[in-house]
C-alpha cells in the first residue's frame, strides 16, 4: 500500500506564498491589498487548488472579491507558471475564509458571558 504523499501540501504552500506576492502586485483591484491568504488545498492529482483568503474590511466585500479573484484566476495561474518550477500549475479557485470572523464572534460571546457572570456575582 502506497503511503500518502505530502507533495500536494507542499505545492499548496508554495502556491499560497507566491500568490500572496502576486495578488497585490499584479491585480488592478482596489481590494487586492486587503487580501490575506489564509490557506490552500491542492487535489491529490495536482490539477486544482482551493485558495482561502480573508479581508481586512470583513465579510461585507467578500462576494465581490471572490468574483474578482476567480475572474483573475487564469491570469494568476499564468503568472505562477513563470515563478514556480512545476510541470503544470493547478487551476485556481478562491474562497472566502469565514473562520476568522466566526472566531471573533465566538470570542465576543465568551467575553459577554464572562462579564454577565461577574455582574451576577457582585
| Residue 101 confidence (pLDDT) | 78
Ranges of H-type helices in 1-122:
7-26, 62-71, 73-81, 99-121
Helix (H) or strand (E) holding 49: strand 48-55
Could you tell me the sign of the dihedral formed by the alpha carbons of 59, 12, 48, 86, in that order?
positive
Which cell numbers hold the place of 4? 500518502
Q: Name the pLDDT band for 14 (thresholds 50, 70, 90).
A: very high
Domains of the chain: 7-97 (3.30.300.20)
Separation between Cα atoms, residue 22 and residue 18, nearest integer Å: 6
Which cell numbers hold the place of 24? 497585490
Which cell numbers hold the place of 46? 495536482
pLDDT tens digits for range 50-90: 999 998 877 788 889 999 999 999 999 999 998 888 888 99
| Residue 1 confidence (pLDDT) | 43
* pLDDT of 122 strictly over 70: no
Q: Which of 74, 8, 79, 82 has its CA nearest to residue 45?
A: 8
Q: Taking the complete model, does pTM exceed 0.75, yes or no?
A: yes
Amino acid at each position: 500500500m502506497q503511503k500518502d504523499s505530502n507533495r500536494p501540501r507542499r505545492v499548496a504552500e508554495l502556491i499560497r506564498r507566491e500568490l500572496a506576492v502576486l495578488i497585490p502586485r499584479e491585480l488592478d483591484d482596489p481590494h487586492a491589498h486587503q487580501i490575506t491568504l489564509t490557506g490552500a488545498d491542492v487535489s491529490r492529482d495536482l490539477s486544482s487548488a482551493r485558495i482561502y483568503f480573508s479581508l481586512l474590511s470583513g465579510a461585507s466585500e467578500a462576494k465581490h472579491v471572490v468574483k474578482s479573484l476567480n475572474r483573475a484566476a487564469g491570469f494568476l495561474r499564468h503568472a505562477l507558471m513563470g515563478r514556480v518550477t512545476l510541470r503544470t500549475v493547478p487551476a485556481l479557485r478562491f474562497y472566502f475564509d469565514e473562520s476568522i470572523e466566526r472566531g471573533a464572534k465566538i470570542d465576543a460571546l465568551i467575553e459577554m458571558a464572562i462579564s454577565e457572570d461577574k455582574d451576577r456575582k457582585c
